[in-house]
């Protein structure tokens, strides 16, 4: 029977789409993000549709903030059965204008935020010997890409961290799902000028993730399949050839 799912970065994009898909599937939905007005509006929409939903404002990379939000949502909606670490930021950079603070903030939100989400949810899941951790990584975790130094690094770290964590949780009743999507149409990707083949709508990706959650979760989910195949195959290509092709591809957008 569906239980309580908490989503970080829930106010827009993939997070909001996940909230709607989970609510439609009968789950109670706890929403965490920094923008209160957007959280309130989304929670109101969900409850008007008959779902149970609550929200809490938090900075995902701040443990005290996240713990307070988590406890508030559990008090209102019950034990967290599924934690979806979705919060993330993206910024393209160039060497000529490289800002280390931008890079550090990407790592802070994308990596520390995901780890903190797992940290606050795990004690209860381990005590009940039941639960799921889902992290939204990216196909960018599979290869470094031009202009996305910190983003690619953050997603590689997140995928590796949670895939490693899955080993130690396998016999403790807690499933770990690492989601590595390709291009998804959200506010985050709206300014991309390069080609984005196989772009998914956020609602399409959300439905695929929710289906995995309903089956009990676990494993690595990379979508679309050809993105996983191409990036996996790229590991067999000499680095200098891949780097040359990647630079050409991303510069298509700069020229358009």
For the chain, the straight-line distance linking the first and the last C-alpha, in angstroms and rounded, comes to 50
- Active-site residue, selected from the candidate residues 27, 149, 151, 249: 151
* Closest-CA residue to 157 (of 138, 133, 176, 132): 138
> Catalytic residue at 151?
yes
Catalytic residue IDs: 151
């Amino acid at each position: 029977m569906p239980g309580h799912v908490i989503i970080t970065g829930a106010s827009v994009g993939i997070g909001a789409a996940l909230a709607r898909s989970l609510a439609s599937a009968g789950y109670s939905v706890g929403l965490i993000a920094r923008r209160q007005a957007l959280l309130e509006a989304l929670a109101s929409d969900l409850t008007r549709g008959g779902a149970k939903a609550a929200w809490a404002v938090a900075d995902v990379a701040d443990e005290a903030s996240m713990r307070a939000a988590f406890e508030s949502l559990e008090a209102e909606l019950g034990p967290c059965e599924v934690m979806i670490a979705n919060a993330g930021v993206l910024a393209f950079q160039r060497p000529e204008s490289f800002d280390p603070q931008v890079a550090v903030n990407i790592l802070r939100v994308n990596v520390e935020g995901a780890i903190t989400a797992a940290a606050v949810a795990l004690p209860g899941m381990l005590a009940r010997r039941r639960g799921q951790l889902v992290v939204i990584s990216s196909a960018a975790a599979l290869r470094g890409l031009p202009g996305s130094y910190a983003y690619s690094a953050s997603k590689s770290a997140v995928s590796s961290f949670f895939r490693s964590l899955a080993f130690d949780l396998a016999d403790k009743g807690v499933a770990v799902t690492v989601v590595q999507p390709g291009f998804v149409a959200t506010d985050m990707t709206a300014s991309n000028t390069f080609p984005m083949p196989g772009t998914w709508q956020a609602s399409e990706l959300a439905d695929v993730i929710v289906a995995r959650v309903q089956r009990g979760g676990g494993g690595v989910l990379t979508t679309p399949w050809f993105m996983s195949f191409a990036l996996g195959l790229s590991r067999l290509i000499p680095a200098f050839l891949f780097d040359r092709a990647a630079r050409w591809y991303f510069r298509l957008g700069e020229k358009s």
